[in-house]
Amino acid sequence: MYRLPRLGKSLSIAKKDLKIYYGKGPVVIFGILLPFFFFFAFLVGRKMPPLSLIAGLSGMAIWFTSTSISPVVVPWETRTKTLERLVASPISVTEMLLGDIIGSITLATSISAVTIFAVAAILGLMPVNFLTLLLGIVLASFCFSAIGVLISALPTDTTSDIMMLSTLIKFPLIFVSGIFIPTSNLPGWGTMISRFSPLTYFVDLVRFSFSGSGSPWMDIGALFGFSLLFLFASDFFHRRTLLKRL
């Protein structure tokens, strides 16, 4: 019989992750520096409207930050043998994974929100729908963190294997999600692929939050649906690969 996860246990896992893992190099490199490098590399020598700039930076910031550590926590736990101790403790796989996601959300929302609002102030933009933007940041953080945890289901204790797989997924999605090129300007196959990218819906939600044009409900619904899909997929695959790690 399925038992609902206890939030207190998951919060303990999140606290542990924030203490141990979120001061590591990948957070600084992939979560903070890389989005800015991409942003300024794309900005230099181009004339882009401020709305496109803020939407692009927001998407990259939250995408990279949410997936900077969440894919490699479980492989690190496997290598250091602390995963065995977690499995032996009275905590379910779902509670453990949810804790990893909560820790990633905490970091991603705090860093991304500061980055987004700071750049918006520099560009002279103010969100028309402030609450919608905050909801989008939280939903996107959850969704992208769940993607990272799903990637970590690969049964290995070598973090480079996970990071290679993560990179193969993360970078192509950037170019079909409306960050650099509006999805309406993509070829037919690109538009089709963009619909399967949760990043597309977050970028669109940022545009709505700052412009006020359009409807956010499809984007919110898509992010919520993708979040549930990746959460359940993570739980499913981790349960089947857990014994291979011990």
Lowest mean pLDDT among 13-22, 35-44, 74-83: 35-44
Query: Residues 121-179: pLDDT tens digits?
Result: 888 889 999 999 999 999 999 999 999 999 999 888 888 888 888 888 888 888 888 88
Q: How many CB atoms lie within 10 A of CB 65?
A: 27
Percent of the chain with pLDDT over 90: 30
Please compute, for residue 27, the number of CA atoms within 13 A of its CA located in the half-sphere on the CB side.
21
User: Who wins on pLDDT, 237 or 162?
Assistant: 237
Residue 35 predicted with pLDDT over 80: no
Rounded CA-CA distance 185/183 in Å is: 5
Residue 33 predicted with pLDDT over 90: no
pLDDT computed for residue 2 by the predictor: 47
The domain locations on the chain are: 7-245
Measured CA to CA in angstroms, residue 64 lies from 20, 91, 172 at distances of: 19, 29, 13
**Using an 8 Å Cβ cutoff, are 45 and 83 in contact?**
no
Query: Residues 95-115: pLDDT tens digits?
Result: 899 999 999 899 888 888 888
pLDDT computed for residue 1 by the predictor: 44
Q: Average of pLDDT values for 78-82? A: 83
Rounded CA-CA distance 113/102 in Å is: 16
Tell me the average pLDDT of the chain.
84
Query: Residues 186-206: pLDDT tens digits?
Result: 778 878 888 999 999 999 999
Q: Which two tokens stand for residue 198?
A: 């949760």
**Using an 8 Å Cβ cutoff, are 203 and 96 in contact?**
no
pLDDT computed for residue 108 by the predictor: 86
Q: Which residues of 155-188 are buried (b: 16+ CB within 10 A; e: fewer)?
A: bbbebeebbeebeeebeebbebbbbeeebeebee
Q: Average of pLDDT values for 78-94? A: 83
User: Who wins on pLDDT, 31 or 174?
Assistant: 174
Residue 185 predicted with pLDDT over 80: no
Using the structure block, give the residue that is written with the tokens 């919608």: 132
pLDDT computed for residue 111 by the predictor: 82
User: Who wins on pLDDT, 21 or 16?
Assistant: 16
- pLDDT tier at 234, thresholds 50, 70, 90: very high
Q: Which residue from 20, 157, 163 is spatially nearest to 75, judged by alpha carbons?
A: 157
Rounded CA-CA distance 60/202 in Å is: 10
Task: State the amino acid at position 19 in one-letter form.
Answer: K
Measured CA to CA in angstroms, residue 19 lies from 48, 78, 97, 113, 141 at distances of: 39, 18, 16, 21, 19
